[in-house]
Structure 1
Amino acid sequence: MKQKILFYLPAILLSALLIQGCYKDKGNYTYNMPPRPELSLDTLYYATLGDSLIIDPHVKVAGNPHLAYEWKISVPSDVNIDVIDSSASFRILFTLDAMRYGAQLTVINQDNGMKYFYKFVVSGQTAFAKGTTVLTVQNGKTILSFVKPDSTVQADIFNVFNTGIALPTQPTQLVAVPEWQFPKSVKQYWIFGKGGPNTGVRVDANNFIQDRFFKDHFFDAPDTINPFKLIPNMLNVMSGVVNGRLYEGSRNTWNLAPIYGMFSGGAVGDYDLSGEIAYVYSVPDEPRAPSAYIAFDRVKYQFLRFFPTGADPVFIGTSYAVEGDAFDPKNVGMPIERLLHATNGICFAYCRAADKTLYELNFRAQFIQGAEPIGFKALQKRPFPRPELVKADTKWDITAAQIIYFTSGDVVYRYNPGNNDFRQLTTTFNGKAITMMKLLDNNTLAVGVENTLYYLNVSTGVFGTVIKKYDGLPGAPVDMAERGLN
């Protein structure tokens, strides 16, 4: 037994010394990490087709080690290969398609083998990357034109590149569809109208070449296609009312696939929609995709709820609780003329009774599934205070602050429903009837009359002074869209 104790004693003493050593150390080490290079590299570079793309970042690193570089532009194509370079500055003749490309610069410290990665984006563009596209009608002919930033009008640009292809007659909308996840970009334009062999035509925003008819945007197209109202979102798809049915572009595939954004059969249900529809977003300033639809049945005269899915929307109908007795949203009793959505489900609807009285309905539709319960707050119903100003061709729009702008012949009015304040904007249009009006943001109002597009300042305390105007447009403006100007 004594022999065993003597045998274990050195082991015990050694363990105690090891434990004591670990306790004193406490892992307090000093690391000398090599310094990371500092680069003057932007996150976004624009490259014009046929021009040189030069990226020459200034690289600074302590100790002046030997550095190597690897540049890469990732090209998502079966034909093109990635663009790779190993110079300190990146210089190429840009010949890729006009789209956005993910890119990366790798800086290699050859003295210690460390690699540092810097990601950025290259946005390929053409001569049409910046400017304003304007849809007009002249003597019954639909015309698409482009206005350069210097105000030069390239009239009837569609016919320059599309011989023998007809745009829709009786044009109603120009829809600028953004690139996926880039809300301020434009990838395609859709031109919609009420007549002609094609009621919808799509063109590539980079060259204005027609690349799809609306009938080919359906997996199974209906015999007759009447687009009422279409609105895009930042996921590169449209949704809206066609033939009284609600459609939503399919997102159940890769966003560069040819079938991405196409329409299926529409929302299933017993309804017949007006073109007056509102899209409500979970984040109002980020229209990623609708979180709810507020629609109006043009036969039953009732407000309906639809739920988006990324494919066919789901018809919820009138399955919502009603708060307030100003009016019954499930039985309005008259057709709708205009639905204005301010923000967060707050709306103003203008409905015409059988005796021709124009009513203003104010409500909040909380149709987004979330923290708040689903419901409809009927806030107010009253005759419109100035019905004599509303004409058959009156145009309407609304700001997020619930300031309404509407046209009356050759005049634009600013209307605050909160205090019944009506103000005529200061700019006059030489007696020309207003054919288009559109809020570009809360501070800028675009107004179109024969041959001219005006930009008016409607910021706080300003009542429609001219910011700029484009003359020389062929015909009367119907709609417009900007690209690369903000």
Structure 2
Amino acid sequence: MKILYKNISMVLLSGVIMLTGCYKDESTEGLLEQNKVGLSDSKTDEVISVFQGELLNLKPTLSQSMKNNMDDLSFQWSVYDNSPTSNYTLPRFTIGNEYELKYTVSGESFTLGQNYLLRLTVTEKSTGISSFLNYRLLIANKYGTGWVVLEDKAGKGDLSFVFPDYTVEHGIYTDRNTTVLTNPKKLEIVPYSITDDISASGKRMYILADGGSQEYNFLTMVKKFDYSFLFFSAPPVIKPSVMNFTSASANSASRSANLGIAINNGKAHSNLVGGFPGVKKWGDIALTPGGTQNYNLAPFASGGSTYPAVVYDNTSKRFFYIRGYSPTPVAGSLEAFPSAASSEGVFDMNNVGMTMIFQDSADVVKSINAVMRSDDNQPYLYKYKTESTSSAPIITLSKTQMNAPGFLSYTAAAGSTTTPHIYY
């Protein structure tokens, strides 16, 4: 009997298997063919270089296999980081929702020199089916080589850029920035890298004006920081004339910052640099050796290895220097020059007795030309250097009465570093 039951079970199981194997699948009958959206553009074959401030205009070829209903399509242009470590899981931002992309590349969204993947997603609203097209972007630097010019247009500041082929682009500042520059005074460019832990290490550029002074990004041509933000404690009066960093080296290939020096409203502020952690900004007003703020600096500064920053007080009519760091006296204070720094037969750094009206680099490395106006309105050329040694401590070089008609009323001047001339 047991054997009989087993045979019956085997027969029943075989029947189930046969029934299952003979089932006719009719699930694919009646399926409708879906509309297919095709996207193509020859620009996807290469990297698209685009400049900051330039219009990015893209309109790929679009086709539909079954209908031509653009109203049923939605569009999204998304930008992704295209670095080797990117996984494209999330878009950085969306820059358009129309079929044709018209987007002005801005420094706020795109980083100069960065590679990006730009993806167009086309979705059919009725079905939810999406099609994709990828572009590769490189944000290029249009202003990498040339000359930046600060302009005063009836009291309002602007920038122009002169390219190596001598073509000129005007309105660079006003086209990209909303902060108004009033009574622009000066452009300050630091030609070597600065590490201040406020922003990425690199060269610095400052626009000085009666209103709207700022640190400026000369790569993207947009404002970085307000002038007051660059100080630990903002000065009560904003009237800048100098904001730069001195260097102990004259070799352009190895120059680095020695000390930051800012002159605002005639007062000195210093900015320590170095390999220590933390944010570096300009400090409080430097005090005289007597512990007062009773001085008014000329709008010039120099510096070198021995004397990191050299400034001139038109109130006491003498030079001071500011050291890079020392706990006593406090770093940033104005200090008198040692008596050994001056030659009796030339002039005394601590007792000049004239008003400084101009200063710039001379044609000899680490030497400075300073033009003074005497009480009887005569121009004198004072020359000094910013480096000394224990065996040669004297830094005063010469004092000469100038034969330079009209110099006392100059509007612009520059010292030559290749010939012994001052152009005005």
Which amino acid in structure 2 is aligned with residue 170 of structure 1? N
* Per-residue deviation, 1:319: 2.9
Q: Cα–Cα, structure 1 residues 172 and 351, in superposed 2: closer, same or farther, change >3 Å?
A: same
Tell me the distance in 2 between the aligned counterparts of 1:240 and 1:48. Answer: 42
- What per-residue deviation string (whole Å, max 9, x for no partner) do you get for residues 440-460 of structure 1? xxxxxxxxxxxxxxxxxxxxx
Does residue 349 of structure 2 align to residue 329 of structure 1?
A: yes
Equivalent of 2:227 in 196, 214, 217 = 214
Which amino acid in structure 2 is aligned with residue 280 of structure 1? G
Equivalent of 2:310 in 294, 300, 308 = 294
Tell me the distance in 2 between the aligned counterparts of 1:251 and 1:49. Answer: 36
- What per-residue deviation string (whole Å, max 9, x for no partner) do you get for residues 271-311 of structure 1? 624234442334xxxxxxx9522221111111222222399
Which amino acid in structure 1 is aligned with residue 215 of structure 2? R
Equivalent of 1:246 in 262, 268, 281 = 268
Q: Cα–Cα, structure 1 residues 152 and 396, in superposed 2: closer, same or farther, change >3 Å?
A: closer
Is the partner of 2:302 in helix, strand or coil?
strand
Is the partner of 2:175 in helix, strand or coil?
helix
Tell me the distance in 1 between the aligned counterparts of 2:393 and 2:296. Answer: 21
Equivalent of 1:189 in 188, 195, 205 = 205
* Per-residue deviation, 1:400: 3.7
Is the partner of 2:157 in helix, strand or coil?
strand
Q: Cα–Cα, structure 1 residues 376 and 238, in superposed 2: closer, same or farther, change >3 Å?
A: closer
Task: State how many pairs are aligned.
Answer: 283
* Per-residue deviation, 1:218: 0.6
Equivalent of 2:112 in 83, 98, 120 = 98
Tell me the distance in 2 between the aligned counterparts of 1:266 and 1:81. Answer: 46
Which amino acid in structure 2 is aligned with residue 133 of structure 1? V
Asked if the contact 2:112–2:220 (Cα under 8 Å) also holds between the matched residues in 1, the reply is no
Asked if the contact 2:318–2:349 (Cα under 8 Å) also holds between the matched residues in 1, the reply is yes
Does residue 369 of structure 2 align to residue 351 of structure 1?
A: no
- What per-residue deviation string (whole Å, max 9, x for no partner) do you get for residues 51-84 of structure 1? 9xxxxxxxxxxxxxxxxxxxxxxxxxxx989736
CA root-mean-square deviation: 3.9
Is the partner of 1:158 in helix, strand or coil?
helix
Asked if the contact 2:269–2:283 (Cα under 8 Å) also holds between the matched residues in 1, the reply is yes
TM-score of the superposition, structure 2-length normalised?
0.56
Is the partner of 1:279 in helix, strand or coil?
coil
Which amino acid in structure 2 is aligned with residue 303 of structure 1? F
* Per-residue deviation, 1:50: 5.8
* Per-residue deviation, 1:326: 3.3
Equivalent of 1:385 in 393, 403, 407 = 403
* Per-residue deviation, 1:216: 0.9
Higher normalized strand content (fraction of residues): 1
Is the partner of 2:228 in helix, strand or coil?
helix
Q: Cα–Cα, structure 1 residues 264 and 401, in superposed 2: closer, same or farther, change >3 Å?
A: same
Tell me the distance in 2 between the aligned counterparts of 1:300 and 1:142. Answer: 34
Equivalent of 1:279 in 293, 298, 302 = 302
Tell me the distance in 1 between the aligned counterparts of 2:347 and 2:192. Answer: 41
Question: Which has the greater radius of gyration?
Answer: 2
Aligned to 1:264: 283
TM-score of the superposition, structure 1-length normalised?
0.49
Tell me the distance in 1 between the aligned counterparts of 2:192 and 2:83. Answer: 21
Gap runs ≥5 in structure 1: 1-46, 52-78, 86-94, 102-122, 283-289, 408-486
Tell me the distance in 2 between the aligned counterparts of 1:312 and 1:187. Answer: 24
Q: Cα–Cα, structure 1 residues 355 and 291, in superposed 2: closer, same or farther, change >3 Å?
A: closer
Tell me the distance in 1 between the aligned counterparts of 2:155 and 2:141. Answer: 31
Equivalent of 1:201 in 207, 214, 218 = 214
Q: Cα–Cα, structure 1 residues 326 and 50, in superposed 2: closer, same or farther, change >3 Å?
A: closer
Which amino acid in structure 2 is aligned with residue 98 of structure 1? L
Asked if the contact 1:177–1:232 (Cα under 8 Å) also holds between the matched residues in 2, the reply is yes
Q: Cα–Cα, structure 1 residues 125 and 383, in superposed 2: closer, same or farther, change >3 Å?
A: same
Asked if the contact 2:113–2:141 (Cα under 8 Å) also holds between the matched residues in 1, the reply is no
* Per-residue deviation, 1:214: 0.4
Tell me the distance in 1 between the aligned counterparts of 2:398 and 2:194. Answer: 36
- What per-residue deviation string (whole Å, max 9, x for no partner) do you get for residues 320-341 of structure 1? 3222323333222221111233
Asked if the contact 1:396–1:404 (Cα under 8 Å) also holds between the matched residues in 2, the reply is no
- What per-residue deviation string (whole Å, max 9, x for no partner) do you get for residues 187-232 of structure 1? 4431112x23x3x122222221212110111111111022122234
Tell me the distance in 2 between the aligned counterparts of 1:98 and 1:281. Answer: 33
Is the partner of 2:334 in helix, strand or coil?
strand
Q: Cα–Cα, structure 1 residues 378 and 48, in superposed 2: closer, same or farther, change >3 Å?
A: farther
Aligned to 1:144: 159
Tell me the distance in 1 between the aligned counterparts of 2:382 and 2:282. Answer: 32
Asked if the contact 1:341–1:348 (Cα under 8 Å) also holds between the matched residues in 2, the reply is yes
Tell me the distance in 2 between the aligned counterparts of 1:246 and 1:139. Answer: 30
Structure ranking higher on relative contact order (CA contacts 8 Å, 6+ apart): 1
Q: Cα–Cα, structure 1 residues 341 and 151, in superposed 2: closer, same or farther, change >3 Å?
A: closer
Tell me the distance in 1 between the aligned counterparts of 2:49 and 2:245. Answer: 27
* Per-residue deviation, 1:252: 5.4
Tell me the distance in 2 between the aligned counterparts of 1:254 and 1:147. Answer: 38
Is the partner of 2:335 in helix, strand or coil?
strand
Gap runs ≥5 in structure 2: 1-46, 52-79, 87-108, 116-137, 196-200, 247-254
Q: Cα–Cα, structure 1 residues 344 and 308, in superposed 2: closer, same or farther, change >3 Å?
A: farther
Asked if the contact 1:187–1:206 (Cα under 8 Å) also holds between the matched residues in 2, the reply is no
* Per-residue deviation, 1:401: 4.9
Identity fraction in percent:
18
- What per-residue deviation string (whole Å, max 9, x for no partner) do you get for residues 31-63 of structure 1? xxxxxxxxxxxxxxxx99669xxxxxxxxxxxx
Aligned to 2:320: 304
Tell me the distance in 1 between the aligned counterparts of 2:163 and 2:276. Answer: 33
Tell me the distance in 1 between the aligned counterparts of 2:139 and 2:422. Answer: 37
* Per-residue deviation, 1:267: 3.2
